[in-house]
Amino acid sequence: MFITSHANGLIVFQSSLLKDQSPLKHAFSSRKGGVSPAPFESLNLGPDVGDDAENVPENRRRFLQILDAGVDRLAMGEQVHGNHVEIVSQPGLYPATDGLITARRGIVLAVKIADCVPLLFFDPVKTVLAVVHAGWRGVIYGIIPAAVQSMIDEFFVRPENLLCAIGPSIRSCCYEIQRDVADRFDDDAIIRRDGKLFLDLIHVIKKHLELLGLKPDNVDISEYCTHCQGELFFSYRRDGIHSGRMMLAAGLK
Ligand SMILES: [Zn+2]
């Protein structure tokens, strides 16, 4: 279950599965509580979308206060819808990376989203976390098994101990796709409605996680669709190139 919190004028979401897993701190942002004007109103956390360059650092500062962390602690990937996962021991921007893992305290891992799926993994036994940015391409290219396998290989994580939170993203109510994309997924991931095709990417991700050995009870999925809920979320599909970006941020305090 996801809990909605109002803090410092922001609206953020946290998984009840992970909220009290000290020393982990995490939050999924909404578009509420920032300084950016339309069409980026107001908590745009993406620097490359056309928003005033001064707004984004202030928005990030406000959001990261929830984690009691500064902007200089951020470690992010240059998201390319690929399957590369980086083990991170210092802040910075990691090229061509869609998944980040760390066991080091004082670093905040983050992914930017505006419809794609943000995933947070945490192993309370080994005290290691990962964040993943997964759109349909990333899922096809195997970003989710790549992230979990890296946690297993590098940190001796046992999948049955892993907790996973899946944040707001575009859902099957709105995720219309064309035949060429549908053909790349199993039929049970495709919903047919009014002569159109819709992708249930969460269904695919849940299957991946189960195959990897995660317990279904250890997977917490936000009910929100970013495309439906324009008041709360940016959506690239809905808003086009003038869409702001939300963030999943997580770190060990
Ligand atoms: Zn929707």
As given in the structure block, the two tokens for residue 155 are 């940190």
| Residue-wise pLDDT tens digits, 142-154 | 999 999 999 999 9
Q: In what order do the strands lie in the sheet with 196-199?
A: 176-177, 196-199, 190-193
Q: How far is the CA of 33 from the centre of ligand 1 (A)?
A: 23
The contacts of residue 187 (CB under 8 Å, 6+ apart) are none
Flag residues of the chain having pLDDT under 50. Answer: none
As given in the structure block, the two tokens for residue 62 are 């406000």
Rg (CA), the chain: 17
Q: How far is the CA of 95 from the centre of ligand 1 (A)?
A: 31
Q: How far is the CA of 115 from the centre of ligand 1 (A)?
A: 10
Q: How far is the CA of 229 from the centre of ligand 1 (A)?
A: 7
Q: How far is the CA of 196 from the centre of ligand 1 (A)?
A: 15
Q: How far is the CA of 174 from the centre of ligand 1 (A)?
A: 4
As given in the structure block, the two tokens for residue 226 are 């970013």
Q: What is the pTM for the complete model shown? A: 0.97
Q: How far is the CA of 212 from the centre of ligand 1 (A)?
A: 28
CA distances to 135, 170, 178, 190 from 196, in Å: 20, 16, 8, 10
Q: How far is the CA of 170 from the centre of ligand 1 (A)?
A: 6
Residue 111 region by backbone torsions, left for phi larger than 0, else alpha for psi between -120 and 50, else beta: beta
pLDDT of residue 182: 98
Beta bridge partners, 220, equal 165
Site of tokens 């069409």 = 39
Q: How far is the CA of 227 from the centre of ligand 1 (A)?
A: 5
Q: How far is the CA of 203 from the centre of ligand 1 (A)?
A: 15
Q: How far is the CA of 137 from the centre of ligand 1 (A)?
A: 19
Q: How far is the CA of 37 from the centre of ligand 1 (A)?
A: 24
pLDDT of residue 242: 86
What superfamily would CATH give domain 2-171+202-252?
A: CNF1/YfiH-like putative cysteine hydrolases (3.60.140.10)
| Residue-wise pLDDT tens digits, 191-243 | 999 999 999 999 999 999 999 999 999 999 999 999 999 999 999 999 998 89
Q: How far is the CA of 173 from the centre of ligand 1 (A)?
A: 4
Q: How far is the CA of 176 from the centre of ligand 1 (A)?
A: 10
Q: How far is the CA of 171 from the centre of ligand 1 (A)?
A: 5
Q: How far is the CA of 222 from the centre of ligand 1 (A)?
A: 13
DSSP 99-111: EEEE--BT-EEEE
- CA 49, chain centre distance (Å): 18
Q: How far is the CA of 205 from the centre of ligand 1 (A)?
A: 17
